Amino acid sequence: MGYITSITKAYKKARNIVQKHCSETYIPKLLDSRTTNRLSMTTAFRISGEILEYIKTGGWITIEETSGQVGIAPEKSMELLDFLSEFGFIEFDPDNTRIRITDLGERFLELPEI
């Protein structure tokens, strides 16, 4: 899978995760669905970026610590962390209690802002 294809799939999956778990917290209910979709995609990337920025030291960081840093309950953040892992941005330790950033995750953080 190419880098652009991977990013596109990751973007769509992140949007779905945020719509499922964060819509009431981050997205005002009065917005129409078209605007809400744009905001939820932005929120998904913001949260993903915050996670990657926080763990970019390269060391292992607990899931609870990471979740607390970005303001999401650990049980809700697991789906987002699974997403980041599935697309190679992070990896879990053997016990699935800690995460760290991968080379691809570091490359993602280096993308220019648009």
Can you give the CATH number for the domain in which 104 is found? Answer: 1.10.10.10
Tokens of residue 52, six digits? 């990657």
Tokens of residue 53, six digits? 């920025």
| pLDDT tens, residue by residue, 25-61 | 443 333 344 444 454 667 767 888 889 999 998 799 9
Tokens 């016990």 — which residue?
95
In a domain, 102, yes or no: yes
Print the domain residue range for 80: 3-109
- Using the predicted structure, report yes or no on whether residue 82 has a pLDDT greater than 50: yes
Count up the domains in the chain and report the number. Answer: 1
Task: Give me the mean pLDDT over the 99-110 stretch.
Answer: 90
Reading phi first (left if > 0) and then psi (alpha if -120 to 50, else beta), residue 48 is in alpha
The C-alpha atoms of residue 26 and residue 46 are separated, in whole angstroms, by 11
In a domain, 50, yes or no: yes
Can you give the pLDDT at residue 63?
Answer: 92
In a domain, 114, yes or no: no
| pLDDT tens, residue by residue, 6-21 | 666 776 666 666 555 5
Can you give the pLDDT at residue 113?
Answer: 72
